[in-house]
Amino acid sequence: MTGVTVETLREFAEQYVREEPSRLGTDGWWRTPLLATAPVDERFSQLPEIASPDHLHPHDLLATAKSVIVFFLPFKKDLVRGNKDGDRPSRNWGLSYVQTNDLINRLGAALGDLLEAHGFQSGLTPATHNFDEVKLMARWSHKHLGHLANLGRFGVHHLLITPEGCAGRLGSLVTEAELGDNPLIDTEEACLAKAGQECQKCIEACPLDALSERGFERRTCWEWLKDNLATLDYFSDLPDTTHVCGKCAALMPCSFNNPVASL
Ligand code: SF4
Ligand code: SF4
């Protein structure tokens, strides 16, 4: 069976995200989503090297997979602006994390259902907490999948910078459908510092000095995310997986777009 293209999936994702605020009865947290695809080719063999040694291959999710689909849900600017001040994340940052995880999981499943209606099986993993708690590395890293599918490029903050910036969340799935290569980023780098420009903004914004041009102190960051959940009264009604901070994505030059594209 045929008839499903990247345009079909992009339109479906856009409509799905557009309808989410009325489902929740709120204004919602999201701008228009992005979606990129890549064929399951040799590039994905690098995952154990570039992500984590036990990272799964797309064929581990679905032996017959022919394509990887990665989508990005960019946050509205007001939400990101509201998380700028102070060292601790805002209540809305925590709430949006919870609601975005749920949206990512349902959107991934809905994309899978759409593909199945066209005769193609899919394989999915959850939006988050699919990682090794000791090594703090994901066995299925949406970020690295997005990097390989050319949805974005890594910044100094170790977030993926897409054409709609880094402030948002990623989801991914694999499918039997042959969707081809549909990249969205067209610059070699999307981080100003990595492109040789002056920018240390994310490094300066980190409350714990977890970031530097040389690397990312994963453990330091993780302890801070857990501390936020344990400390903040206004997170007390949120799930015990609400591990957030987001200061390195708040009003950075790369928060809402790819700053290298306009150099
Ligand atoms: S804030 Fe600057 S240095 Fe940090 S990731 Fe964004 S562009 Fe790169
Ligand atoms: S999420 Fe927070 S603690 Fe972690 S690197 Fe970014 S600013 Fe630092």
Q: What would the pLDDT profile of 151-207 be if each residue is shown by its tens digit? A: 999 999 999 999 999 999 999 999 999 999 999 999 999 999 999 999 999 999 999
Ligand 1 proximity of 193 Cβ (cutoff 6 Å)? yes
Considering the domain boundaries, does residue 238 fall inside one?
Answer: yes
Closest ligand 1 atom to 159 CA: 5
Say whether 14 sits in a helix, a strand or coil.
helix
Does residue 48 fall inside a structural domain?
yes
Residue 59 covered by a domain: yes
Q: How far is the CA of 209 from the centre of ligand 2 (A)?
A: 8
Name which of 140, 173, 143, 144 is nearest 69 in CA terms: 173
Instruction: Return the ligand 1 atom nearest residue 194 CA.
Output: 8
Does residue 105 or residue 138 have the better pLDDT? Answer: 105
For residue 124, being part of any structural domain is answered with: yes
pLDDT for res 2: 61
The tokens of 110 are what? 């809905």
β-pairing, 160-161 vs 168-175, is unpaired
Going from the Cα of 195 to the center of ligand 1, the distance in angstroms, rounded, reads 10
pLDDT over threshold 80, residue 130:
no
Mean pLDDT of 133-143: 83
What's the pLDDT at 44? 98
In the predicted structure, residue 62 carries a pLDDT above the cut 60:
yes
**Test site for ligand 1: of 164, 213, 252, most ligand atoms within 8 A of the Cβ:** 252
For residue 213, name the pLDDT band (cuts at 50, 70, 90).
confident
Which pLDDT tens digit goes with each residue over 12-42? 999 999 999 999 999 999 999 999 999 999 9
Instruction: Establish if 261 belongs to a structural domain.
Output: no
Residue 203 C-alpha to ligand 1 middle, in angstroms?
8
CA 165 to mean position of chain CA atoms = 11
**DSSP string of 64-87, one letter each residue:** T--EEEEEEEEBPHHHHHTT-SSS
- Residue 104 counted as domain residue: yes
Residue of the CA atom closest to atom 7 of ligand 2:
206
In a domain, 263, yes or no: no
Is residue 236 a part of any domain in this protein?
yes
Q: What is the pLDDT of residue 179?
A: 98
How remote is the CA of residue 192 from the centroid of ligand 1, in Å?
A: 6
Residue 134 has pLDDT above 70, yes or no: no
Atom of ligand 1 nearest to the CA of 252: 1
Determine the Cα–Cα distance for residues 260 and 146; give it in Å rounded to an integer.
18
* Binding site membership of 260 for ligand 1 (Cβ less than 6 Å): no
Domain that holds residue 180: 6-256
Q: What is the mean pLDDT of the chain?
A: 95
What span, in angstroms and rounded, lies between the C-alpha atoms of 205 and 251? Answer: 10
Pairwise CA distance, residues 163 & 186, whole Å: 9
Question: Is the CB of residue 31 below 6 angstroms from any atom belonging to ligand 1?
Answer: no
**Does residue 143's CB lie within 6 angstroms of at least one atom of ligand 1?**
no
Give the pLDDT score at 128.
64
What's residue 1's pLDDT? 44
CA–CA dist 71, 48 (Å, integer): 21
CB of 163 closer than 6 A to ligand 1? no
Total number of residues shown for the chain? 263
Residues 166-176: tens digit of each pLDDT: 999 999 999 99
How far, in Å, is the centroid of ligand 2 from the Cα of 71?
A: 22
Average pLDDT score over residue span 112-131: 87
First to last CA, the chain: 44
Torsions phi, psi of 39, nearest 5?
Answer: -70, 150
- How many structural domains compose the chain? 1
Residue 217 Cα to ligand 2 middle (Å): 9
Ligand that lies nearest to the alpha carbon of residue 155, given by its number in the listed order:
1
Contact 153, 147 (CB under 8 A): yes
